[in-house]
């Protein structure tokens, strides 16, 4: 695996692990999701540049547009959580406790 | 030149370790700013100057600014930084994990893989990535229209989610 390929792959896996093992704040999970989107943007842009497929460089731009949609939906849910529970700490989201 | 790019790649991994170890959201946003900045550097070194500019403007200047002031919703009296005991454990585990994966997967230096998209190959005045993005307006016009429609739809989704007083899609809000 080339060093460039390894670095954005491990960046994606690190963001995924940070999303999986998030501890206290919902916003930390959303920021890890943004980190995954960053690594995907870098991956698609490097695919364009290293294979010299100039027509493919629209793909990272469209990925950025859709990830903006997803980030805004996540932030709307964060605001809704802060309105009902007063904070975004995950221990307050306990309706399904066992 | 390859040493500079390898330094930027290491800084990308360090920045995402700083985000994934889940400190207080202020510090995680700082880690994302650093990671996006060095990601732009990696893209520039491969010749994609326009895509790097787009990443800086839209991602850092648009989305991360919104996340930074949404961090006010996650305010704490004593925010946990990377030196605090619980966060530092995660940092160590992630660095050890990356080191182990580097031992297994990263074979060597791969001399021929640090390429730059060539400007003067087809006697063109523009770099490859900016002329490729211009294709989004000509042949990819339908995708552009779909993307704009999805963005408008997301605006209404956000308005309905945060409407409040049980008038929106969430009954509790």
Domain for residue A1, yes or no?
A: no
* Mean pLDDT in residue range B5-32: 93
pLDDT of A83? 87
* Mean pLDDT in residue range B115-125: 60
Let me know: does A6 contact B86? Beta carbons within 8 Å. Answer: no
Q: What CATH number is attached to the domain comprising A56?
A: 1.10.287.3510
CA distance A46 to chain B (A): 7
- Cβ contacts below 8 Å, chain A against chain B, sum to 233
What is the Cα–Cα distance from B18 to B127, expressed in whole angstroms? 34
Q: What is the mean pLDDT of each run of 10 residues along chain A (98 residues)?
A: 90 95 90 96 92 88 94 93 87 80
Cβ of B109 within 8 Å of Cβ of A46? The answer is no
Q: Which of B58, B106, B131 sits opposite A1 (nearest CB)?
A: B106
In this complex, is the C-beta atom of B4 within 8 Å of any C-beta atom belonging to chain A?
Answer: no
User: How many Cα atoms are found within 13 Å in the side-chain-facing hemisphere of B57?
Assistant: 8
Q: Please, what is the average pLDDT of chain B?
A: 86
| Alpha carbon of residue B113 to chain centroid | 22
pLDDT digits (tens, 9 = 90+) for B147-171: 999 999 999 999 998 887 777 777 7
Domain for residue A61, yes or no?
A: yes
pLDDT of A23? 84
Residue B118 predicted with pLDDT over 60: no
Domain for residue A85, yes or no?
A: yes
User: Hey, how many other C-beta atoms are within 10 angstroms of the C-beta on B117?
Assistant: 20
pLDDT of A8? 94
Outline where DSSP puts E strands in chain B. none
pLDDT of B116? 61
In chain A, how many domains are there?
1
Domain for residue A41, yes or no?
A: yes
CA distance B131 to chain A (A): 7
- Which of A10, A7, A34 has the alpha carbon at shortest distance from A22? A34
Domain chopping of chain B, boundaries: 1-123, 126-172
pLDDT digits (tens, 9 = 90+) for B22-39: 999 999 999 999 999 999
What is the Cα–Cα distance from B59 to B40, expressed in whole angstroms? 11
pLDDT digits (tens, 9 = 90+) for B66-116: 998 898 888 888 888 888 888 999 999 999 999 999 888 877 776 656 666
Which pairs with CB-CB distance under 8 Å and at least 24 residues apart come from B116-120? B116/A49, B116/B45, B116/B46, B116/B47, B117/A48, B117/A49, B117/A50, B117/A52, B117/A54, B117/B46, B117/B47, B117/B48, B118/A52, B118/B47, B119/B47
Domain for residue A17, yes or no?
A: no
pLDDT of B130? 80
Residue B65 predicted with pLDDT over 80: yes
What is the Cα–Cα distance from A48 to B50, expressed in whole angstroms? 12
pLDDT digits (tens, 9 = 90+) for A22-44: 888 999 999 999 999 999 999 99
Residue B124 predicted with pLDDT over 70: no
Cβ of A57 within 8 Å of Cβ of B132? The answer is yes
Let me know: does A37 contact A59? Beta carbons within 8 Å. Answer: no
Domain that holds residue A73: 24-89
Cβ of B25 within 8 Å of Cβ of A31? The answer is yes
pLDDT of B40? 95
Domain for residue A81, yes or no?
A: yes
Domain for residue A71, yes or no?
A: yes
Helix (H) or strand (E) holding A32: helix A26-51
What is the Cα–Cα distance from A87 to B69, expressed in whole angstroms? 15
> Which burial class, exposed, middle or buried, applies to A60 when counting CB atoms under 10 A from its CB (0-12, 13-18, 19+)?
buried
pLDDT of B51? 93
pLDDT of A98? 66
pLDDT of B47? 84
User: Which residues have CB under 8 Å from B21's CB, separation 6+?
Assistant: A18, B82, B87, B88, B90, B91, B94
pLDDT digits (tens, 9 = 90+) for B40-50: 999 998 888 89
Domain for residue A37, yes or no?
A: yes
């Amino acid at each position: 695996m080339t060093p460039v390929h390894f670095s954005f792959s491990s960046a994606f896996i690190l963001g995924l692990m940070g999303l999986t093992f998030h501890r206290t704040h919902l916003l930390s999970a959303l920021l890890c999701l943004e980190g995954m989107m960053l690594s995907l943007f870098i991956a698609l842009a490097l695919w364009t540049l290293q294979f010299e497929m100039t027509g493919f460089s629209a793909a990272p731009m469209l990925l950025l547009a859709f990830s903006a949609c997803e980030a805004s939906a996540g932030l709307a849910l964060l605001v809704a959580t802060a309105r009902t529970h007063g904070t975004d700490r995950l221990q307050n989201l306990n309706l399904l406790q066992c | 030149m390859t040493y500079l790019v390898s330094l930027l790649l290491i800084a990308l991994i360090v920045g995402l370790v700083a985000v994934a170890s889940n400190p207080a959201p202020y510090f995680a946003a700082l880690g994302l700013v650093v990671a996006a900045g060095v990601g732009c550097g990696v893209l520039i070194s491969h010749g994609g100057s326009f895509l790097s500019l787009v990443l800086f403007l839209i991602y850092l200047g648009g989305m991360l600014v919104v996340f930074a002031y949404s961090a006010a919703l996650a305010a704490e009296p004593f925010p946990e930084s990377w030196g605090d005991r619980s966060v530092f454990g995660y940092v160590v585990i992630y660095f050890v994990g990356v080191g182990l994966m580097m031992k297994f997967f990263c074979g060597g230096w791969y001399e021929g893989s640090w390429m730059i998209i060539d400007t003067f190959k087809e006697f063109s005045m523009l770099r490859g990535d900016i002329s490729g993005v211009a294709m989004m307006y000509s042949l990819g016009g339908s995708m552009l229209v779909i993307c704009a429609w999805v963005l408008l739809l997301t605006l209404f989704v956000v308005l309905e989610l945060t409407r409040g007083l049980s008038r929106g899609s969430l009954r509790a809000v």
